[in-house]
Amino acid sequence: MTKAIFFRYALCPMLYALCEFRRKEMKMKIFRPFLQILITSTMVLSLILSASAGKLQKQLIAESTIETISKRGLLRVGMSTFVPWAMKDKTGKFIGFEIDVATRLAQDTGVEVEFVPTKWDGIIPALLTGKFDVIIGGMTIRPDRNLKVNFTIPYDYSGQTICAHRKLAAGFKKPEDFNRPDVTLGARLGSTSVAAIKRVMPRAKLRLFPDEPQLYQELLNGRLHGVVASLPTPAYQALKYPDTLFAITEPFSRELIGFAVRKGDFDTLNYFNNWIRSVETEGWLMERHNYWFNTREWESLVQ
């Protein structure tokens, strides 16, 4: 091989590689300080973000409703009276299925319980303004309500049934029989019964009442053909006034019932959900449901 050929085919590539290596080495020397600064800045930023996240997590925990309940030593429950969900006994004390549920929840949490009676049509706004911590009041899980509050997993179920006036609704045997323009039905303001009537009996006239006693008094007075409400109240009222009222006991809808809490509070929702799973698994919820909805053993407490 001649020198020219050697220089061209062997030495030049070696020199080129050497020059390229030196060039990269010079670049590394120039950029190394910037790289070190970048790495250091990234580490510092990560530490700051980690500390901020930890601080935020502690703040969220401190602001959660369940944390407030624990510190206060008191669970404030929003509810409204529905027989036999929640009602007063002869001594003026609240009793009922929801009362048992809220009382057990407070006991298991290690706190006292306070019941805050609230008009049904204003119960969600009252929760949002902090009048109480949670709604435990037979509230059906509905999408329109879910836009305003968060619901727990269901802890019970219900359905719409009818209590009717024997004379005015004589011969009526199913919900469709009430779907006439000469029929007047009553429901509680803000309840799921309103939507049920509009869906199944849209031709009937509808009157709304803020409280349950007013609703059934109008029915007893013969100013309503029937009242649509969640079971088992219609059947209970029919048994109470058998000469005047009768019940269509087969529910024409099925509704899931949950606790309602303010939005953005994962810790509280998580705690309530796991509590529901726990007492459901042990059979306590079913036992209480059967007592209040499938027996009349409690009637002597209110009559």
Say what the pLDDT of residue 7 is. 47
In the chain, pLDDT over 90 holds for what percent of residues?
A: 65
Residue 146: pLDDT above 50? yes
CA atoms within 13 A of residue 151's CA, in its CB half-sphere: 18
**What is the three-class DSSP state of 264?**
coil
Residue 137: pLDDT above 50? yes
| Range list of H helices, the chain | 3-6, 12-63, 65-72, 97-109, 123-128, 143-146, 192-200, 212-220, 233-240, 266-281, 284-294, 299-302
pLDDT in tens, 82-117: 888 999 999 999 999 999 999 999 999 999 999 999
Q: What is the DSSP letter of 76?
A: E
Both structure tokens of 104: 């057990």
Residue 41: pLDDT above 90? no
**What is the three-class DSSP state of 11?**
helix
Please name which of 205, 242, 241 lies closest in space to residue 225, comparing C-alpha atoms. Answer: 205
Scanning the structure block, which residue is given the tokens 């323009």?
181
Both structure tokens of 71: 């510190």
Please list, in sequence order, all residues whose beta carbon lies within 8 angstroms of the beta carbon of residue 215, skipping any fewer than 6 positions away. 186, 187, 188, 209, 227, 229
Say what the pLDDT of residue 18 is. 53
How far apart CA 192 and CA 102 sit, in angstroms, is 22
Say if pTM beats, i.e. exceeds, 0.85: no
pLDDT band of residue 54 (cuts 50, 70, 90) is very low
| Backbone angles phi and psi of 75, in degrees to 5 | -100, 120
Please list, in sequence order, all residues whose beta carbon lies within 8 angstroms of the beta carbon of residue 228, skipping any fewer than 6 positions away. 160, 161, 162, 185, 186, 187, 193, 196, 197, 201, 234
- Whether residue 73 contacts residue 111, with contact meaning beta carbons closer than 8 Å, is answered with yes
Residue 187: pLDDT above 50? yes
| Backbone angles phi and psi of 227, in degrees to 5 | -120, 130
Residue 58: pLDDT above 80? no
Amino acid at 112: E
Say what the pLDDT of residue 61 is. 44
Please list, in sequence order, all residues whose beta carbon lies within 8 angstroms of the beta carbon of residue 190, skipping any fewer than 6 positions away. 120, 121, 122, 123
Q: Which has more confidence, 40 or 236?
A: 236
Q: Which conformational region is residue 73 in: left (phi greater than 0), alpha (psi within -120 to 50 degrees), or beta?
A: left
How far apart CA 129 and CA 188 sit, in angstroms, is 23
How far apart CA 261 and CA 286 sit, in angstroms, is 23
Helix 212-220 to helix 233-240 angle (10° resolution) is 50
Q: Which has more confidence, 250 or 29?
A: 250
How far apart CA 98 and CA 285 sit, in angstroms, is 10
Both structure tokens of 242: 């058998």
Residue 22: pLDDT above 90? no
- Whether residue 189 contacts residue 229, with contact meaning beta carbons closer than 8 Å, is answered with no
